[in-house]
Structure 1
């Protein structure tokens, strides 16, 4: 049995560790968030090793302390005791920035002031020897007062125990059950709990395994039917998305009426800390809550220990409700309350800060999702000028996007002396956390660098590679990237020259074949189709590996200024690329213009938005573009391109029959 386990392993919250260990873990958490994301990209070449400074011990009881350790107040924090007071939403950004300053100094003081554990006197069932092996972590306590009590199995008086606790919501008692991730010996108990409490919803905020560590035992069938004790579970449907997956489970017990249980599993939580982008978890939360009714109670939420990520999700839900009802939030008060029901809820300071960040995100940007039935009216409203600002809704919306700062500290590799000359536009460098790695050449410094970024699609992570138009000195790197990442489709959105300047080096030969380092590129075929040219290449490696076909779609319909007059050409192009992609395999689609940001971002945005339109019947241009900009700077570069994204949705819907082959 583990004592610690990443952000959900127990031991990260007040009262679980001493101040020295807490400080060390805090440093590790921050470093691991950044390092983990960067290394994740490199995992496809090398096996990533777990952080050795985060121990995972077994069978050792770590007795939690009774109270948290408060930081010594400073002059700057003399007026910071207001964290015990609700924060009006209009002041949320100001309050966040104040507490976030100086390496989260005030957030640290606020978090350490949270109440610690109630103590073992409140955990008689948890401490029973018969229940010891049912607990995943020995320092995460399920208190007696709010624990879920199961109906005892005949002959086993201790079978009423499961490591799960009732937690109230904003204005609803026992809205949630916070549970640890099932272990091999508690799966039957988990399904007994689901059946006996009548819960029809599971929110899972962990992966089964992270960095080689088991976080949760799979408690549902991979396919078909599995029987867990007296309960039968059948997997009826699986709906995968980029950041989450939805599973529909049919559950039955004896002759009783079959029930449908929906499991929502969030996939975007890093092993330490909190998600980088609050919008992902906000959208996931919205998906969960709009898919259920008030009768679907209690909602079972679990991660690994059932306190860190679980507490974060539950607190975020409560504060979003409070924000909507009262126009204020009380994170400190709510987390304090949940810790009376279950120990260490919101287990890490990074998770606590993330809750504020998510609430600020919701306040600043709101819900920008639109049903397709109202897209025409919505776009007309966006084109109207606001009487106060004298700007259109589109301009105001785009200005919100420009408020999202470029993360210059996350561009270290692109700014290295050996790489700086490989960049076409110095304002558009790949973020280290999403950049495309090339295989390192022995003895060649910087040979793993190319100005290219992985971009998520609608359903898949890293569906695209967004890159600049190759320079003469980077053509070989471009083809290395295409080869190493098995990209079989290239979308080119620029001419070789525009406005009397070079915008892209010719990276292919017009006839015959040409060698670029170890790779030989041969032009096999070239055909004109309306607004684009389709070229087929054979890509061969001198090292003797099997040759591949690569298809380039060169779009000619983009004017030198602004955006195309209509979206028909780009919609057709997207359809052709998707059709080819289905034939070519699972590698990412490589997309480039000149800088790899403006037109490239617009193509990615339109492709992603249209996929969602087809699947869900709604769209969110704003959040789609915002997410792109968090993966690569300046994606969708100007307001003309931003409006073109909306225009493409409208034209796609108006011409749906014509583009039915796109579905």
Structure 2
């Protein structure tokens, strides 16, 4: 028995010793992890009261449930490291060299962005500092959302108005720039009516010269921001002792508008710019980063030498606002260090204002944006350098024997998107499938036009066509296939229902003479179901035919519509076919001149399958639009963008090269670049 007791004691001692060693090792690992993974952050004050699990209140920039109770826990001198103690291993500093950014983003976006969504969940929504000032004011009067309150240590403190309670408060936060530069940005909520005057007080006090606004005034019928500036040129608004006047509105851009505002207070007069980005959907992210990056570039050019903070706001001032600020910070880090650390950037922003970068969609978009800016966006060429750059782009590079244009096209092929079965569900329905010339070239539901007139007579609302944005106009084009014998009525319903008054026909006239491809017009008059089309005039132009048509819909009062058809005579077969290339440019010029007097109605562009020639034509036309507005050319970005809804656009390196030569031919119509600028 004594031997058994001794053995038991020995075994127990060994086990106890091993457990002690394991516990010590765990403690050491935890301490090392704390040391190397957690950046230092300011400590919360001893009396802070912290809402627990408030992330359940946050959905995009949406309103919070006003009566939802919050569970509170008391923190005694709470260390921020403990508040972020559940952030997980993914918040270890992760510097990604620019050369590795493309494979890294591809990896974390695999399987439906599952890895990025998992990483995003490791960011805590718990406050990391006191919010005494914001919680001490009447919430409905000063805070758009009850749970998004600025931290005391970063809040913008307004100069008090004597005798006016809470006059030092506004829901806005100073945000550090890269690297640790104080007060580079002010992140703010969109003003409500009661705080619009405070907004202008802040703008004057902080000497703000530029504002980046990322929300519309209303979204999904809900108010998102009060109109704190006059939207029409020449209009004035007064806020207390501050008068603001809209002296210029520049709406030449698809995704944003630029307002020039005169601000007057007492003897002080100065001008600021308000950059209003209008294409960021509520509860999500932009469809692609191209427009937002162009917007940010404009903002930064304007704010470059002012020395004043950039005011950024959306509705809540955290989701879209945090995303734009993070993009700017990471681009600066990349420029300085040659690498980016997305996770640390998000973590740092959240120590200065709660919920910065608010949704997984915004976190995913952040990665798309920096990839676009750093890896894919070195393709923009100034108009003054284009002829010189074309020599470089078309020069054969040994030993591969390819040109730089061909290399860029191969990159586009690598990035080519695909449409899934859900995207094209309507196009594949039995009643619609027979309306498609090519079963592989189908419009996604989100971008197809719905035809109404023939739908009312018992046909479906489907036609193989899709909307395409121009550079300045949303849905500026509709691309469609050559009508089939059974879809001629649908084609004219498309023209009639969308209000289009211009058709660009890219198939030569001799193909419209068989049973498979009947002409959808006639030299005199013809009927197509409920529509009657009459050719009023036909003129031979330089490389194309211009027809003036009259379109009537039977049974509809005041239905007569004047239509212009621009019909190519000969499509260029290769890039050195200069005469035919000039025909395309002449048609684009005629189309643009026609559109000047016809508002923003879409131009219908038609080729055999709605892809092959339509892609070249539309990419070139959009490129010319940008050239006219910004004196820059970026065919790579245009093709990447238009392929999102029709991956079959620009099917070869030859077509991609043709787009460049077409723009060059357009520019060379003018003797000098100075003449070109005057015309633009």
Q: TM-score, normalised by structure 2?
A: 0.84
The answer as to 2:544 corresponding to 1:536 is: no
Q: CA deviation at 1:70?
A: 6.0
Greater CA drift, 259-268 or 652-661: 652-661
Q: CA deviation at 1:246?
A: 0.8
Q: CA deviation at 1:102?
A: 3.5
Q: Which residue of 2 aligns with 1:17?
A: 55
The answer as to 2:645 corresponding to 1:631 is: yes
Distance 1:458 1:574, change over 3 A: same
DSSP-derived class of the 2:211 partner: strand
Runs of at least 5 residues in structure 2 that lack an aligned partner in the other structure:
1-50, 74-82
Q: Which residue of 2 aligns with 1:142?
A: 150
Q: Which residue of 2 aligns with 1:203?
A: 212
Distance 2:72 2:106 in 1: 31
The answer as to 2:195 corresponding to 1:181 is: no
The answer as to 2:67 corresponding to 1:60 is: yes
Alignment equivalent of 2:289, drawn from 263, 278, 289: 278
Distance 1:303 1:585 in 2: 30
CA-to-aligned-CA distance 1:440-495 (integer Å, 9 cap, x gap): 76688871111111111121101111111111111111100000001111010112
Q: TM-score, normalised by structure 1?
A: 0.86
Distance 1:210 1:64 in 2: 31
Q: CA deviation at 1:83?
A: 5.6
Q: CA deviation at 1:260?
A: 1.3
Distance 1:413 1:238 in 2: 40
Distance 2:188 2:346 in 1: 16
Distance 1:528 1:390 in 2: 42
Distance 1:107 1:592, change over 3 A: same
Listed as ranges, the matches of 1:325-340 within 5 Å are 325-340=336-351
Distance 1:322 1:57, change over 3 A: closer
Distance 1:416 1:244, change over 3 A: same
Q: Which residue of 1 aligns with 2:372?
A: 361
Q: Which residue of 2 aligns with 1:51?
A: none
CA-to-aligned-CA distance 1:524-549 (integer Å, 9 cap, x gap): 12121121111111111112332111
Listed as ranges, the matches of 1:113-192 within 5 Å are 113-118=122-127, 122-130=130-138, 132-171=140-179, 172-192=181-201
Distance 1:14 1:613, change over 3 A: farther
Distance 1:583 1:442 in 2: 30
Greater CA drift, 187-196 or 502-511: 502-511
Q: CA deviation at 1:501?
A: 8.3
Q: Which residue of 2 aligns with 1:248?
A: 260
DSSP-derived class of the 2:490 partner: helix
Listed as ranges, the matches of 1:433-452 within 5 Å are 433-439=446-452, 447-452=460-465
How many residues align? The count is: 610
DSSP-derived class of the 1:375 partner: helix
Return the structure number with greater relative CO, CA threshold 8 A, min gap 6.
1
Q: CA deviation at 1:90?
A: 2.5
Q: Which residue of 2 aligns with 1:646?
A: 660
Distance 1:296 1:65 in 2: 41
Distance 1:584 1:443, change over 3 A: closer
Q: CA deviation at 1:600?
A: 1.3
Q: CA deviation at 1:364?
A: 2.9
Q: Which residue of 2 aligns with 1:372?
A: 383
Alignment equivalent of 2:358, drawn from 347, 365, 382: 347
Q: Which residue of 1 aligns with 2:436?
A: 423
Alignment check: 8 A CA contact 1:591 1:600 kept: yes
Q: Which residue of 2 aligns with 1:527?
A: 539
Q: CA deviation at 1:265?
A: 1.0
Distance 1:204 1:64 in 2: 34
DSSP-derived class of the 1:159 partner: coil
Distance 2:183 2:284 in 1: 27
Distance 1:552 1:68, change over 3 A: farther
Distance 2:532 2:84 in 1: 63
Alignment equivalent of 1:298, drawn from 299, 309, 328: 309
Distance 1:596 1:441, change over 3 A: closer
Distance 2:361 2:217 in 1: 22
CA-to-aligned-CA distance 1:176-217 (integer Å, 9 cap, x gap): 000000100000000000000011010001111111011000
Distance 2:196 2:314 in 1: 14
Q: Which residue of 1 aligns with 2:496?
A: 483
Q: CA deviation at 1:305?
A: 0.3
Distance 2:238 2:183 in 1: 28
DSSP-derived class of the 1:355 partner: helix
Distance 1:424 1:231 in 2: 62
Alignment equivalent of 1:568, drawn from 582, 592, 604: 582
Greater CA drift, 341-350 or 442-451: 442-451
DSSP-derived class of the 2:315 partner: coil
Distance 1:460 1:65, change over 3 A: farther
Distance 2:239 2:100 in 1: 50
Greater CA drift, 483-492 or 294-303: 294-303
Q: Which residue of 2 aligns with 1:9?
A: none
DSSP-derived class of the 2:390 partner: helix
Alignment equivalent of 2:325, drawn from 314, 317, 337: 314
Distance 1:296 1:442 in 2: 59
Distance 1:63 1:335, change over 3 A: farther
DSSP-derived class of the 2:587 partner: helix
Runs of at least 5 residues in structure 1 that lack an aligned partner in the other structure:
1-12, 30-53, 74-79
Find the structure with the greater CA-based Rg: 2
DSSP-derived class of the 2:445 partner: coil
Greater CA drift, 187-196 or 653-662: 653-662
DSSP-derived class of the 2:446 partner: coil
Alignment equivalent of 1:220, drawn from 223, 229, 241: 229
